[in-house]
Amino acid sequence: MSIVAFFSYVMITSLTPGPSNILMMNEARKFGFAGSWKFSAGILAGFAFLGIISGIFTTWIYKWIPVIEPYFKIAGAAYLCYLAWRIGFPKESAKNEMNEGQTSFFSGFIFQVINVKSILFFLTLMSTFILPFHQTIKSTGFYLSLSILLGWLALLLWAGFGSIFKKMFVRHDKVFRIIMCLLLVYSAVSIFL
């Protein structure tokens, strides 16, 4: 496994704007880092739960039907190219206004468990970057745990910086998007190397 491609994929998909990142940032901006702890804890717990369930499911499918490995690689590479396209050529979207009330642990957890970006993140991670190279429970668990930890750190980063990070992201948006797009394309190509 290319460790550079693995870390590029995990960091880019974790740091780029997604529903969870944006919701945590907005919640922290409204109520402060400590004030948004219930919702943030729900998102983090949902992310870990989703990672473990996706890891078990993907491992079971991957070992049960090894014939589908090339399709997992193609799907993973296609998803990486799709992410690169979305990052490199973003759509203009209207700003989402959040409700003024604080959200709960449960709402954060449920939101994260049904978050399509996170589901595809873990399925692609397992099928493209972990399982083709690591078949033992110990090594698979290590890389999955590392991915969950890095995802948590990225989510907390978005929450911690709140509106400050948002302003910086807007100011350097074009350069950031180009770098992220190129790193994702590199990750997609490295799947087949």
| Domain annotation covers residue 180 | yes
pLDDT at 78 over 90: no
pLDDT at 97: 40
Question: pLDDT digit string (tens) for 23-34?
Answer: 787 788 778 788
Question: pLDDT digit string (tens) for 127-182?
Answer: 888 888 887 889 889 999 999 999 999 999 888 877 566 667 667 778 877 887 88
Q: Domain range spanning residue 160?
A: 3-89+107-190
* Total tally of structural domains belonging to the chain: 1
pLDDT at 96: 43
> 143 with 129: CB under 8 angstroms?
yes
| Domain annotation covers residue 101 | no
pLDDT at 109: 93
| Domain annotation covers residue 42 | yes
Please give the DSSP secondary-structure letter assigned to residue 130: I
Give the Cα separation of 151 and 182 in Å (integer). Answer: 20
| Domain annotation covers residue 137 | yes
Both tokens assigned to 136? 């033992």
Q: What are phi and psi of 131, to 5 degrees?
A: -65, -35
| Domain annotation covers residue 37 | yes
Give the chain's end-to-end CA distance (angstroms, integer).
10
Q: Which residue has the higher pLDDT, 104 or 102?
A: 104
Question: Cα 111 vs. chain centroid, distance in angstroms?
Answer: 14
